[in-house]
Structure 1
């Protein structure tokens, strides 16, 4: 899980994670890593590593098998979900975590209710491993860089 935990909806998501999803995850032998601003100040729980703010998220995403985002509060598109998907990391989230997504992007994540986690939903994440698909292209850094390069070239061509 990644987020700015000074933002109260992210603290709430952490509490939902601990209360609803973590018990089944622990029964399956999974552990959790939580990082981001203020994460080192969250209530410590067995099976959860609170990593604090990281200077670079690349190592974090390379070290995890999936991202969880049990969101029930807040608004807008959840960048944490897009960032995970764009990096090829499967996402287990709530319906609210997918608000504002196109149907194509919604289909790239697994939505779970904010109730005790069902193991079959976690197993569905295995099918989400191949995230090198077109709907994410607009969110990739390489696409952003190419668009900025094209824009810069077009401006230079006009002068």
Structure 2
């Protein structure tokens, strides 16, 4: 499995997906989890049957990158990294090579002759995501679409996160390559009590948003939540508090910690205590792609979720039972106030959401999806 950033130990959405898929694959055979970029901290021993390697080292001289031109969605890959990857593949002799998304497109052709099976894992339909981000220029989506079409002609299989992403991708690319749904699983499921815990007491309501706070869609969500939604809630519920937690917060997110009722937790080592103390998670995403790991994690802890339709896109959750959805800040705030005023309804939503996420996105569901996505179900048939 070739990733941009180290997937172990996992810290954010992409890492959590990559590592969860590696764990599932490791039940079938040895896995080599490779990153283009070096690890940030001291090495840690990986789980059984997983080997971890990096293609670059901290502090080594900057080398020429693959290709003279890169699309906006592509990651920079130093030429020595490709040479190291090719040597590693020849030594490890994998049955399957899985590459993380269009950002690593430049690796597909060199890996093609070395792979018995080559899979592209698309965390997002990048051309769709590029069209959503406000900072993207008009050519960004077109460049991503061109790479997606070229990639489909190179690989043997493609993984996507949801049924909706599969529909989007097939509408863009005329290809017979199999497109498998390997959903994002509950992150760090082994550290979460599977039984529904009691609702937290005190400090009601404690609202939580967890995510990579340097990522543009999450920056926008944090600002909406702290500057508009929370003040509306506090007018009805003066003790309402908001915690923003995540890695690498942008300066505009750091500024939010000065607002009344807002706390920022930068680079938390463990979000478990934050989730166990939260009464509610509000996720006002207005742009982004893939399925939302932060929703799965909150629901697995028994935290009710109120979100925009885009935030829950692709999860196929039952509206008004497993998740509450609204588009505007005013509606999101009103839903939060109404839910907090109805303890019986909050308890029902907690229970239904918890059951749904463990059954559909729990470890067994992801193991089955990875098994199928590797083509093993085809071999069995």
Fold similarity call, TM over 0.5: yes
1:31 aligns with 2:241: yes
* C-alpha deviation, 1:9, in angstroms: 0.6
Equivalent of 1:21 in 205, 229, 240 = 229
Quote the residue 1:129 is aligned against. Answer: 350
Quote the residue 2:61 is aligned against. Answer: none
Distance 2:228 2:297 in 1: 24
Kindly tell me: are residues 51 and 103 of structure 1, through their superposed partners in 2, closer, same or farther at Cα, counting changes over 3 Å?
closer
Greater helix fraction, Structure 1 or Structure 2? 1
Distance 2:263 2:356 in 1: 33
Equivalent of 1:52 in 255, 260, 266 = 266
The alignment partner of 1:97 has SS state of coil
* C-alpha deviation, 1:136, in angstroms: 3.2
Distance 1:38 1:96 in 2: 23
Larger Rg: 2
* C-alpha deviation, 1:46, in angstroms: 1.2
Kindly tell me: are residues 40 and 58 of structure 1, through their superposed partners in 2, closer, same or farther at Cα, counting changes over 3 Å?
farther
TM-score when normalising by structure 1 = 0.78
Quote the residue 2:98 is aligned against. Answer: none
Kindly tell me: are residues 84 and 103 of structure 1, through their superposed partners in 2, closer, same or farther at Cα, counting changes over 3 Å?
closer
Q: Which consecutive residues of structure 2, in runs of 5 or more, have no partner in the other structure?
A: 1-208, 372-381
Distance 2:362 2:319 in 1: 13
Distance 1:101 1:60 in 2: 23
Query: Relative CO higher for 1 or 2, CA cutoff 8 Å, sep ≥ 6?
Result: 1
Quote the residue 1:140 is aligned against. Answer: 362
Q: Which consecutive residues of structure 1, in runs of 5 or more, have no partner in the other structure?
A: 152-159
Tell me if the contact between 2:321 and 2:349 (Cα under 8 Å) persists in the aligned partners.
no
Equivalent of 1:70 in 274, 284, 293 = 284
Query: May I ask how many residue pairs the two structures share in their alignment?
Result: 147
Alignment of 1:59-98 (within 5 A): 59-98=273-312
Distance 1:82 1:105 in 2: 15
Q: CA RMSD in A?
A: 2.6
